[in-house]
Chains A and B, each alone.
Chain A
Amino acid sequence: MTEYLQFFIFIPLAGFIISLIIPDRQELLLSRVAFMTAGVNLVSFQGFLIYWLWQGSPVLNLKEIVLYRTDHYEFLIDFFFDGITATYLFVGSLLIFMVTIYSRYYLHREPGYKRFFNTVLFFYLGYTVTIFSGNFETLFIGWEILGISSFLLIAFYRERYLPVKNAVKVFSIYRIGDVGILLAMWMSHHLFEENIAFLKLSNYELVSHHLQIHSWAGIFISLMILVAAAAKSAQLPFSTWLPRAMEGPTPSSAIFYGSMSVHIGVFLLLRTFPFWEHQVSVRILIALLGLATALLATGMARVQSSVKSQIAYSSIAQIGLIFIEIALGLKYIALIHFAGNAFLRTYQLLVSPSVVTYQIREQFYHFVPRQQSIEDSWPKRFSYSIYMLCLKEWNLDSFMYHYLWQPIKWFGNRLGIFTSRRTILFFLPTYAAGITLLIFRTSLPQELIFILPGLFSIIGLAMVFKSFTERIHARMSWILVIMNHFWVALAISLNEQYSFSHTLLYLSGISVFGLVGYFTLRTLKQREGSIDLHQFHGHVHRHPKLAFLFLVASLAVSGFPITPTFIGEDLIFMHIHEHQYLLAFFTSLSFIVDGLAIIRIYARTFMGPHVKSVYDMAYRSS
């Protein structure tokens, strides 16, 4: 029965691809494809579920395809099925089925009908890949799809300012989660000396054997998993993204941010539980994080005066409790809690517009002037302070801004002296020098080899910071992103002697799509004049094809699993030694910011209110 697993990935993939080729205005056809995809998936899964339970619910593992192999490295797609997957698929397939039917009518006549269903199916594909994943690599593919489709769903109303701004914001938080996974993956390569399958994690002896040798590595991996899970499940300090994700049509908010997307962090913890089960400190940390989130989020939910943000915060609080449950090892309670929370919040969000009718009527018949709540009995000064902090979301936003983005901006702005010409002038000779060094690597003193990778990765990082803070030249920003990858490649090549083919694999997608992206931007600039990055341009309005092309290029360059670069990225990381935390940190940081810089270019040039038609655009504040 293992071989059936791939079927559940295949259905949403097929649905997604079919939905891409259906013409724009074919509402009926589009919704049918979505309906069929969700329906077939639901029904076949129910059948499979019964069969699986009948068979005594065995744990299934399917080594699908090996995408790349060298002597001691294997990149493979691996599928896995157990009770956790079953629960997630049960909830997911049921919800997606109901919401596609719901949206069929709800989105009737909406411009972007097709885009909506494309993105929903794409999202669902990401969801299934994630929950079926049998190793970190496969999980990471799903994870990336979730990230990008979330971005597209939040920015569904891409001609308005706030959705685009919030989409970028959510994407940047997701990006932090991505790096958590990336680093966890990197360290686990070194820890297990292979791409470990999740199946093997439940092998207590194997795990504890490795952990005994490198206990710090185990802690590191667990922490990175926690970062990824906290970011994706909107736990502290990332919580504020969830209410801001409620920018798309209500059903998409309901299903993704009410249920499926936001519980993926929970999934990650459940999936990796056997790995950190015996790390008591990690378990305590997870429980504490859950508790802190549950308390603060409840406070924030209590003061929310808009219906969707209230639901978002109360959902976050429940997820905090689920974190505690997982930390306590209560897997089944956590799964039930997840399912209940997902269903409840989805439904609550779907009926949220009715709150006016319902509550106004309730109030009309049962009004109590100035309703007292528990907080009114607290000392005044204390009560006011807590209220104000909850209303300000405990300054979490400015916390993230000050400690995360501000330093990057500060650093990027310090690089202001590097104009485009100077950067090129700097890049060419230094890079040539770097390559020369690489050629003569064997004859270099050991100390130099020790320093150079770090130095080059810092140069790469500087490039990407500069790219991220570039206010004017879109193409410049793009080139800097590409350059960063070249520096990373150089740094790692110097770090360890390995086959050039790895570097080639890594740079192949980047070079090709780097050029594609560059020429797209150039064409756009020729047609529209200014595409300066200090404002949104909304060029998708007139150039939907260019926008799509650039999106694909952006995805490819940022390591999305559509080019070999994706595998290359993993390979590159493997050549960073387990003690080279700094190098790993610089490289991963440059990957995060790199993705951000790319999505920023895309958002600024193609999304947001269209610059040339003030009269047809919504207010910036709306």
Chain B
Amino acid sequence: MALSATTGRHFNEHQVLHALAHYLPAQAPLKDFIHHNTLHGFQHLPFNRGIQHASAIFGYRVSLSLTEYRSLYQQGRIKPAVLDELITRRKGYDEVALWKEKMLQGTYQKDLPRIGQLRSNWKREYKIDLDSLVQPLLFRILCSYLDQGISMWNFPVSNKGFLASLREMEKNSFTSFFKGERARELLLKGHTQMRQLLRLLVGYDEQLYEQYLFDQQFAHQGWSGMAATIEVQPNTLLDHRKITLHDLICFELLLEIDALDDHFNGQWLPLEYTIKEKPLPLFAEVKETELDVVTLLWQEAFEWSYYDEVLAGLQVTDNHQRPVKPDFQGLFCIDDRECSLRRHLELEAQGCETYGTPGFFGVEFFYKPDHGKFYTKLCPAPVTPKYLIKEIGVRRKHSKDAHFTKGTHSLISGWLITQTLGFWSALKLFISIFRPSLSPATAYSFQHMEKHSKLTIENKHTDHTENNLQIGFTVEEMALRVEGLLKSIGLVNNFAPLVYVIGHGSSSVNNPHYAAYDCGACSGRAGSVNARVISYMANHQQVRKILGENGVSIPDETIFVGGLHDTTRDEIEFYDEDQLPRQLRELHQVNAASFQRALAHNAKERSRRFETINTNRSEAEIHEHIKRRSVSLFEPRPELNHATNALCVVGRRALSRHLFLDRRSFLNSFDYQVDPEGRYLLNILKAVAPVCGGINLEYYFSRVDNQKLGAGTKLPHNVMGLFGVANGIDGDLRPGLPSQMIEVHDPVRLLIIVEHKPEVVLRTIQVSPETYQWFVNEWVHLVVIHPETKALYRYQEGAFFPYYPQTKQIPAVESLMTLIESSDQNLPVCIVK
């Protein structure tokens, strides 16, 4: 879409609202937190230009500072060879010295961002601080209107839409939200057309309107973004609320008129009469400055310094032979946090094979836990499933905690509670500090589905539906999904007796961002149900029959077992173990023990990033520490989630199995031989680019500008209406990631490495325009490794060019654990013996 909404002299309300919604943060309420490209509004531009626009217009920081790059260069983490090669390629050989001088010594000034320039005239020319007069009340009203269950006395009118509800209240009240009469009259008489209000505030010059509204809404982009998001996804609030960006803006305009009326006793002129000069239009051309060029060179050099090692490592041939008869196979989520667990498992159980695939395992459905009142979507966010899986036979009840009850906030019951429960609180605090344990306040991954519950997976009659959702899948539908999954990861023969399908989830307490820690492919939930569902399907006799006809024959003795890996606690739970045939039970016990050992190693590997755990301790002790983190009230970093992610390898495990990638890689299994045409590859890339790319860019931008694009430190956060966090009580919502999640992250774009022939990949990425945009605009990098020759091809400006790594030697490590104990920083790529 065009950058600017106002074309010509006239204000087009619809277009401006559309443009605003396009650029505002798109983060859903906390419970549905899903990673996405923070600057999605600029994705139609090439990455370089996109971030330059974002910075010049909205004042975001979009890369590290020059000081930070220079220090990375000093540390050798930006490699001189890579840098020289890059400058040579971009600027020519003769310019290398010149540009290097600029990069290392240059000092640059950055212009003020364009946003806010027009509206700043209120302060400059009128000496009135409109924001502090309007915003606190506006936020409070908006938060109360949207509130999902904090307040005890709900917003009295909420079924009519925001503005209409306010009008209704103003009409039937002895008091008013406004100080003066005029704004109130405007609201009551329904004179709330945006153009009309803007005429009062800004004047007749409609060219200024768009800029005014952008200035106004981006002065509190958190709240505006939330309103715009709820407008298009009303279901994201369990307790539905009608709200539109339009209503929010109109009300804010009214409050501004009211504040000005009050301050100047009604004697004030619209903005256009007092501004001395018109500011530059927001979306006027953004010129690339020398600072931009220098920054870009640094950024690319930083990225390729790391990529280069990885690519060189991938070219090394792995001597490990695929076992003829694997002991077991494990399917894991593509998630970067499973990267190390898979490695440890492979080392612990030499006869196993692991695979990676998005953690919903190709089955998309809504899930209704037993006694639940709502459906939860368990598949990637953009998909809308037609199926429903219900959990039945749950006996356990959720325990309660009186500290969260509303009685503590009432006058009389509060009086009783403070003098009784109050003393219990002191004891509870004491216990939770010295012996942290699971509590009703914990988000616990294994609670997502009860281990011994039943699921309604199979659909016997297609008219068996609930709210237009088909309950369960028919045999054909199951077969289709199992076949799709197995073919996409290239597991079509050589099945082991036991195939584990392991979803993942996370546990934490005192963590409003808990949903961001769960499986992104399951819309921010744990993947246990999906793992169990796909296992059931793959074990189904009739499904197997159909699969056999389609060239995937699973031996009768092979059983699929679902499970859930808790990435915070490094624990695992298997499902339907009681249905295992007797002869496999013993084997399962052996495998489960391997899992346990791998988990302990994994916990140790993770612990190296935590300063508060001594990585040299015994694995058992470390594992205890790791588990305690997940239930400690005082632990703002239960785990580090996707921090440090940088890669996504799409190919056979043999391609990367020998490499230590330091939990930095998403791993999606794919066998080009099974999919010579790239049909399954298309589906993989369609998911990988937005999901992994989205995660990566959210970390990227939250890291480079934690104040404006991230949520800042989480320590002072205050939960607003159960859907967002703010600092203090009068603040704007803070979308993005808190500093505790991104502090160890290196802001590099995702490098997707596909093992296939370049021509097939080139064809594949061009099939779907929205996926293609990710690659052609370089919001992710793409390199293809030829499966037969291991030649590398880098995708750039629409074509593949050969790439020759500068790294010649990849170090080999004898003992992985020694390496892990050596540092808490990023470790180099190396070969695991």
Contacts and interface: CB of A to CB of B under 8 A. Distances in A.
Interface of A: 94-95, 98, 101-110, 156-157, 160, 162-163, 165-166, 243-244, 246-251, 253, 294-295, 298, 301-314, 317-318, 321, 336-337, 339-344, 346-348, 350-367, 369-371, 373, 375-376, 380-385, 387-392, 614-622
B423 interface: yes
Given A302-B409, A303-B144, A340-B422, A373 B372 contact: no
Interface residues of B, number: 111
Interface stretch (B149-157, B316-324, B327-335, B807-815): B149-157
Given A344-B408, A385-B173, A306 B442 contact: no
Contact of B418 (A95, A156, A337, A388): A337
Given A344-B418, A348-B425, A360-B31, A355 B722 contact: yes
B219 A358 contact: no
Given A348-B408, A384-B169, A302 B430 contact: no
18 contacts: A105-B612, A106-B636, A166-B728, A246-B718, A246-B729, A298-B409, A305-B140, A305-B147, A305-B721, A306-B150, A306-B729, A307-B719, A310-B409, A336-B419, A348-B403, A356-B514, A357-B512, A360-B722
Interface of B: 30-31, 55, 59-61, 110, 112-113, 131-132, 135, 137, 140-141, 143-144, 146-156, 158, 169, 172-177, 219-222, 238-239, 369, 371-374, 398, 401, 403-404, 408-411, 414-415, 417-423, 425-426, 428-430, 433, 440-443, 509-512, 514, 611-612, 632-637, 705, 707-708, 712-722, 726-732, 734, 740, 743
A291 B412 CA distance: 12
Given A106-B715, A355-B150, A388-B169, A617 B707 contact: yes
B716 A247 contact: yes
Contact of A359 (B59, B149, B637): B149
A353 B717 contact: yes
A303 B153 contact: yes
B61 A616 contact: yes
B31 A314 contact: no
A366 B239 CA distance: 12
Nearest to B176: A388
A306 B726 contact: yes
Contacts of B712: 618, 622
B173 A388 contact: yes
Given A163-B728, A317-B414, A356-B514, A103 B634 contact: yes
Nearest to B743: A109
Give 6 nearest A-B pairs by CB, closest first. A340-B422, A354-B441, A347-B425, A305-B147, A314-B409, A249-B715
A347 B433 CA distance: 11
A237 B559 CA distance: 71
A321 B636 CA distance: 35
A244 B411 CA distance: 21
A358 B512 CA distance: 10
Contacts of A390: 153
A341 B418 contact: yes
Contacts of A309: 718, 729
Given A157-B713, A346-B425, A616-B707, 19 more contacts: A98-B429, A104-B634, A108-B611, A109-B740, A157-B727, A162-B731, A163-B716, A248-B716, A302-B410, A305-B147, A309-B729, A310-B409, A343-B429, A344-B421, A357-B443, A360-B148, A360-B238, A384-B156, A621-B131
A103 to B, nearest CB: 7
Nearest to A382: B174
Contacts of A619: 219-221, 707-708, 732
A391 B417 contact: no
B727 A94 contact: no
Contacts of A348: 403, 408, 425
B623 to A, nearest CB: 18
A348 B131 CA distance: 31
A354 B632 CA distance: 11
Given A361-B398, A620-B219, A375 B153 contact: yes
Nearest to A333: B419
B140 A391 contact: yes
B165 to A, nearest CB: 11
B411 A295 contact: yes
Contact of A622 (B401, B636, B734, B740): B734
Contact of B442 (A106, A109, A357): A357
Contacts of B371: 365
Nearest to B401: A358
B716 A249 contact: yes
Contacts of B707: 616-619, 622
A530 B417 CA distance: 54
B59 A357 contact: no
A354 B509 contact: yes
A621 B722 contact: no
B110 A615 contact: yes
A356 B137 contact: no
Contacts of B632: 105
Contacts of B150: 304-307, 310, 355, 359
Contact of A344 (B135, B422, B714, B715): B422
Given A247-B727, A621-B220, A343 B408 contact: no
B148 to A, nearest CB: 7
B414 A380 contact: no
Contacts of B510: 350-351, 353-354
A359 B637 CA distance: 22
Chain B CB within 10 Å, residue with most, of A108, A307, A339, A376: A307
A303 B429 CA distance: 27
A587 to B, nearest CB: 32
A337 B412 CA distance: 13
A360 B443 CA distance: 11
A349 to B, nearest CB: 10
B144 A351 contact: no
B441 A358 contact: yes
Contacts of A343: 422-423, 425-426, 429
Contacts of B512: 353, 356-357
Contacts of B428: 347
B612 A622 contact: no
A622 B514 contact: no
Nearest to A617: B707
A314, A347, A353 — most chain B CB neighbours (10 Å): A353
B634 A106 contact: yes
A102 B632 CA distance: 10
A244 B433 contact: no
A244 B729 contact: yes
A622 B634 contact: no
Contacts of B220: 619, 621
Nearest to A101: B433
Contacts of A381: 172-174
Contact of A367 (B238, B417, B425, B634): B238
Contacts of B238: 360, 363-364, 367
Contact of B721 (A306, A308, A373): A306
Contacts of A369: 239
A367 B239 contact: yes
B419 A337 contact: yes
Nearest to B610: A108
B544 to A, nearest CB: 36
Nearest to B635: A105
B153 to A, nearest CB: 4
Contacts of B131: 620-621
A387 B153 contact: yes
A243 B239 CA distance: 26
A247 B148 CA distance: 23
A93 B500 CA distance: 53
B411 A294 contact: yes
A380 B169 CA distance: 9
A337 B423 contact: no
Contacts of B403: 344, 347-348, 351
A269 to B, nearest CB: 18
Contacts of B740: 109
